[in-house]
Amino acid sequence: MLGGSSFGLRAGANMGDTFEACTTSYDFNAPYTESGNITDKLHALRELIYPYTNMTEVAVPDPLPVASYGEVKMTWQTSLLEAVQALNVTRVSDSPAVPFCDVHQAYGFVSYSAEVTWKPPQPAVLSVPGVRDRGYVWLDGRPVGVLSRAESAFSIPLLAAKENTVTIIVESLGRICYGDIHDRKGILEAVTLGGRELTNWSITALPQDLTQLVPETPTPQGDALHPALYRGAFFAADPPADSFLHFPGWHKGVAFVNGVNLGRYWPAVGPQMTLYVPAPFLRAGENTVTLLEMDGAPCGPQESCVVALKDYPDLNGPTPDRISP
């Protein structure tokens, strides 16, 4: 009956022919929207059901207020890798096969880092068959690729050298929520480079509240294509009203308003293009938006680095074209 949002990182996943992360919002074709307003479907249900009952028709509630707070300029805070390197290592393990639960991580992100102790071939294939669910790979601080359980992308070629450091930040995209569930997250098998196993891993669990990664003073701005944290501010009147966060030009990440995790955004994949911002999450006066953008921010020299709070959602954006099996 009701649409809704899986606030935070608790949206689940499906497993058909491949792993499929669920959208943060499930406000699709419901009689009531996630913001509590009625849809045409409710009117249709009333017209269908009332003639067969002796019930007195109940008045339809007035729409709840919504607000458009406009564009919010976002500014660089720090790269994700810099933020992770400032954290204390959670565990050192000879093998990377340490699932999230073994470092007390229910959701979110865990970093796995190891040094190459031999001279590998050029290129050498990094193979991570046990990544669950998405792995962002750095080589000596340079982003070099993305691993994906959903796309069965478990390896990438690297031009690695002896004493280089391989870092893989693994993101959980939600646990499979039906059937014979045994859906651990993290890296679950050995990792090899050029066929040789990487050992002596430093494993770091990122905080659930990713806004804790924002430094007091922003670091020098790096490449906008690198995973990084951004922050902006906007003002809301008293009393605040519901709104919807839009991501023009952004790709994939996690969004917070006033430290509250709204959930994952992924307009590059769709169909959900916005996140619901309930009025109780806002305060009269200044409010903050924090983004962890993983796949590249629209924040180059000639680009508009903004998000926007508008009075309507967009839940039916384009999705990738796929070849049917």
* pLDDT value of position 90: 87
CATH class label, 88-205: mainly beta
Beta strands 142-148 and 91-93 are unpaired
Q: Which amino acid belongs to residue 322?
A: R
CATH topology of domain 70-79+211-310: Jelly Rolls (2.60.120)
| Angle 314-35-260 from CA coordinates, rounded to 5° | 85
* pLDDT value of position 1: 62
Q: Mean pLDDT in each 10-residue stretch from start to end of the chain (325 residues)?
A: 78 84 82 85 87 85 92 95 93 91 93 97 96 96 95 96 97 85 90 96 95 94 91 96 96 97 94 95 97 92 85 90 62
> Residue 258 and residue 234: Cα distance in Å, rounded?
11
Of the candidates 299, 169, 158, 170, the residue with the CA atom closest to the CA atom of residue 223: 299
224 by DSSP, 3-state: which? coil
Beta bridge pairs of residue 131: 187
Where do you find CATH 2.60.120.260 in the chain? 70-79+211-310, 88-205
* pLDDT value of position 263: 95
> Residue 243 and residue 266: Cα distance in Å, rounded?
18
Tell whether omega for the bond before 248 is within 30 degrees of 0, i.e. cis: no
Of the candidates 46, 74, 80, 79, the residue with the CA atom closest to the CA atom of residue 61: 46
Of the candidates 12, 6, 9, the residue with the CA atom closest to the CA atom of residue 27: 6
